[in-house]
Amino acid sequence: MRLIDGVYSANRERFRLADEAMSAQPQTTSLPGPIPQLDLAAQYAAIGAEIRTAVDRVLASQHFVLGPEGVAFEQEIAQLCGVAHGVGVASGTDALILALRACGVQAGDEVLIPPFTFVATGSAVSALGAKPVFADIRPDTYNLDPSDLARRITPRTRAIIAVHLYGLACDMDPILHFARAHNLPVIEDNAQSIGATYKGRKTGSLGDAACMSFYPTKNLGAYGDAGMVVTNSNEMAGRLKSLRNHGQSAKYVSSEPGWNSRLDEIQAAILRVKLRHLPEWQGARQAHAAAYSKLLLGIPGVAPPLVPDGYEHVFHQYTIRVERRDALLKILSDRKIGSAVYYPVPLHLQPLYVALGYRAGDFPHAEHAAQEVLSLPMFPELRPEQITRVAETVSEFVTH
């Protein structure tokens, strides 16, 4: 398919590593068991002792909010992203809301966002009384199409949210160029792409602020809700720290309305443990993706994920595109293979946004993607024979 031209050449080294890993795996004659779409139990089996030690450390300290674990984790995430500041908050959604407010978004303003994303990207805008205005995606990467921004901007536009979907960065240079020309701040929704790079730069370092989610299913996941905003701006970091803590500028002195949105110490301690393992997990995800793509590339009717030159994809999801997607999802389910659709209903067609007046056909690339994308099993502990079984099931479906 045209959408995947060049994928093999861009991933040649990963395919070689995938071959080595799969050839080294011992063969088994046992009946195949279920393959989950995500297996957090396998992760905990490997690092559970480290997690329990970290939690015990917090329990012994009896310091649970705005303490040393949170401060250290903020510094570590800021360093990972290559920025000056991290501000821990209670969730990825709160990170978006607070970042928008810190960028000056108010009730009645408009914010440009893609329609193909989790609803939190839009509902964070709505939570401030602002209006999400959608711009379509590119059909090959599923990320915001910079060329669609110009016809969506109005005098009320106050910011752009660029979502790095599935683990792949947006094409940020033209987005940033457009934003500078119109004096608009850019917020990266980096919930799914921590560790990804764009032309040698880390996601999280590209816009005016970037928002992280550490929801348990993310590549770096907490044991509950948790989030962070990262930025290079001293002023923005200071305001975010105030906003997350009831707008307080000093103890019991509030300068503006704020939130109770603080990253607690137990989650920070857990995330610090997991952060040490993130490079290893990221490498495993990339090797699994290469193995999938080598098996699926060239099968008519299947489009593996594209990794453009100059990008590093971290594969929060391994998402293919296939016609008769729902039928394939059922076949996989019948064979006890997990899969998921992210996302079946674009934001402009959500019941939440009926009042905005959008209709089917307004954003064709987002709508077609919603009908055809399917995320296959992807987690660091995935085994080569499981990847082969998944790919063979996909191939059998599309070729029969």
At 3 the pLDDT is: 42
Mean pLDDT value across residues 50-79 = 98
What's the first-to-final CA gap in the chain, in angstroms?
A: 18
At 293 the pLDDT is: 98
Look at residues 365, 264, 335 and name the one whose alpha carbon lies nearest to residue 376: 335
pLDDT tens string 333-375:
999 999 999 999 999 999 999 999 999 999 999 999 999 999 9
At 32 the pLDDT is: 80
For the record, the structure tokens of 76 come out as: 């570590």
Buried b (16+ CB within 10 A) or exposed e, 132-170: bbbbbbbbbbbbbbbebbeeebeeebbbbbbbbbbbbbb
- Given phi > 0 = left and psi -120 to 50 = alpha, else beta, which region is 363? beta
Dist CA 113 CA 170 (whole Å): 12
Phi, psi of 340 (to 5 degrees): -155, 155
Look at residues 129, 199, 140, 200 and name the one whose alpha carbon lies nearest to residue 166: 140
**Does residue 11 carry a pLDDT above 90?**
no
Q: What is the mean pLDDT of the chain?
A: 93
pLDDT tens string 141-189:
999 999 999 999 999 999 999 999 999 999 999 999 999 999 999 999 9
Helix axes 40-61, 265-296, angle to 10 degrees: 160
